[in-house]
Amino acid sequence: MRRWMILCEAEGINRRSATGQFLKEMDRFRVDQYNPMIGVGRNYELDSIDVHFNLRPLNDSETVLQSLAVVNPASGEGTKAMEIICTFADRCKVILLLDAAPYESNHATPMPKAKLVQWYTRFGFVAEDGTTMRRVPK
């Protein structure tokens, strides 16, 4: 059984749903081992960009995007990665949610919260409350 199928089964997600199809599409880009504690995974290669993030399915139409980070911050790689993620979300008709909260990493100084919210807004995310943001498919 493939990793995305295992996660759908564990979370009670229909594999043919928007979320199931989105997880299936994104799983093609994973480059690390499956770890059920962190969702679909952490390491992906999107268009030659090394990017780290988690996907946590909420239900058949919504998926939470967590901990997005690229190896080379402020290089345009994060923007390109988000464009690719959003393209697949649109294709699969899945709603993305995230918490626009900066976090420390070994690689870079965190982006200020206001700037991070503004950055996610460029991709169609809308603030709901506090730092929670939602993006409906186009």
d(CA 113, CA 119): 10
Cα end-to-end distance, the chain, whole Å: 31
Mean pLDDT of the 49-65 span: 90
Quote the percentage of the chain above a pLDDT of 90. 41
Domain count along the chain: 1
d(CA 31, CA 40): 11
pLDDT for position 59: 95
Using pLDDT thresholds of 50, 70 and 90, give the confidence band for residue 42: low
**Residue length of the chain:** 138
Domain of residue 40 covers 3-135
pLDDT for position 71: 74
What CATH number does the domain containing 35 carry? 3.40.630
Q: Is 136 exposed, middle or buried (0-12, 13-18, 19+ CB in 10 A)?
A: middle
The pTM of this model reads: 0.85
